[in-house]
Structures are given as structure tokens and as C-alpha cells.
Amino acid sequence: MVIVNFNPDKPLPEDIQKFYDESQAGIESKFDITQNPNYKADFAFLPPEEIEKQKKQLLDELSLRSSFFLLAYIESLFRTDFVLRLESNKKGYTDVLTKAYKNIYTPGHKPYTYSLTDVIFKEWRGYVVNKPNSKEMQDILRNLPQYFDFRNWMAHGRYWKYKESNYFNKYNYLQIQILNALIQKYFGPYLKKKSF
């Protein structure tokens, strides 16, 4: 049974990193008087603090957008696992998590209608209880909803004031990279992956 037609061209962390690195280099170059031949025209009559402020705003925006892309990738890991478990009829997919997903699933419902936090992460919390590194996995699962609240805020145009006033410190691109590395380390052996 095929529930989802997967996209083989989805951006991977290395693609997101390349976007980040190249965009950051472009910003740095634009604000460097030795590298930008139009520097004086671009920043005419602006005091140094205003120029620095504009640079910081662009770098912060780059961090936000890259964080958004990487969180979307992290979501895809868990949603792909969810779908592959639902689609499976193999012996290797008869574990507790697969059975829990199959008991929840209503045929005909789109997999993306199932809540990431209230269904998928909830079932993972039960699944990892007796696994090696269970404490680390539980800690990640406990914190993931906050990251996805942040992602939802970004996805909906940031039109309301985010509850975390220090979100650039708490949820910057580096923090999301660390989160992704921890997920790969602890969840990687258990996540079902689509090979094309």
C-alpha cells in the first residue's frame, strides 16, 4: 500500500548548509569595504552603527530561514518514518511503534493530518522507554514541541509577537544544527528511511 509519493529532491542538511554558507559569505562581502566595489554607494551617509545594524539584521534573517528549512527537514524524518511504518507489511516493521501507528491510522486520511507533537512524538515517547540512551531521547522528545512552535511561528508569517523574547539566542541556526545532530545520533538507528 502506498500512502505518499515521496520527493527524492527534498533539501538535505548539506544543501541547507551550503545555502547558509553561501548566503553568509554574500552578506559578509556586501558589508566589507575591501570586497564590495559599491560599498560607498550602498551605505552613503550611514553611520557605522547603522551599517552594522543592517548587517546583523540580514544575518539574523539568514539564521531564521536556515533554521526553518532544517526544522522542516527534521519534521520530514519523523513523518517519513511514520508513513513507511504504515505502508509496511514486512517482518522487520512489526515493532511496538509500527503497531501503535497502524492502530491509530484511519485509511484514507492523509499522513500530514496526524499531529507531529500529539501523535507522532507521543508514540515515540512510549517507544524509546527501554532503548539505550532512553534519557537523551526522552529529553529531545520533550523539547521538540518548543522547536516546532517556533517553526510554526515562522511558517505563519511571524505576525504575532513570539513568546520567547530571546528566540535568536535559543533557536538560532547553530542550535537547530545541534538538535539535528542529536536526532541523527540517537534516533537515526530507529528511524525508517526512504531509499530512492
Amino acid symbol at 114: Y
137-142 LR contacts (CB < 8 Å, sep 24+): 137/186, 137/187, 140/179, 140/182, 140/183, 140/186, 140/187
Average pLDDT in the 73-80 region?
97
- CA–CA gap between residue 168 and residue 91 (Å, rounded): 45
Per residue in 101-155, pLDDT (tens digit) is 999 999 888 888 999 999 999 999 999 998 999 999 999 999 999 999 999 988 8
Residue 90 has pLDDT above 70, yes or no: no
Q: What is the pLDDT of residue 80?
A: 96
Q: What is the pLDDT of residue 168?
A: 55
Q: What is the pLDDT of residue 157?
A: 87
- CA–CA gap between residue 178 and residue 136 (Å, rounded): 13
Q: What single string gives the DSSP state of each residue in the chain?
A: -------TTPPPHHHHHHHHHHHHHHHHHHT-TTT-TTHHHHTTT--HHHHHHHHHHHHHHHHHHHHHHHHHHHHHHHHHHHHHHHH--SGGG-SHHHHHHHHH--TTS-GGGS-IIIIIHHHHHHHTTTSTTHHHHHHHHHHHHHHHHHHHHHHTTT-S--S-TTHHHHSSHHHHHHHHHHHHHHHTTTS-----
Per residue in 151-196, pLDDT (tens digit) is 998 888 888 877 765 555 678 999 999 999 999 999 999 999 988 7
Per residue in 40-56, pLDDT (tens digit) is 999 999 999 999 999 99
Average pLDDT in the 62-80 region?
96
Q: What is the pLDDT of residue 93?
A: 60
User: Does the model's pTM come out above 0.75?
Assistant: yes
Contact of 16 with 73, CB cutoff 8 Å: yes
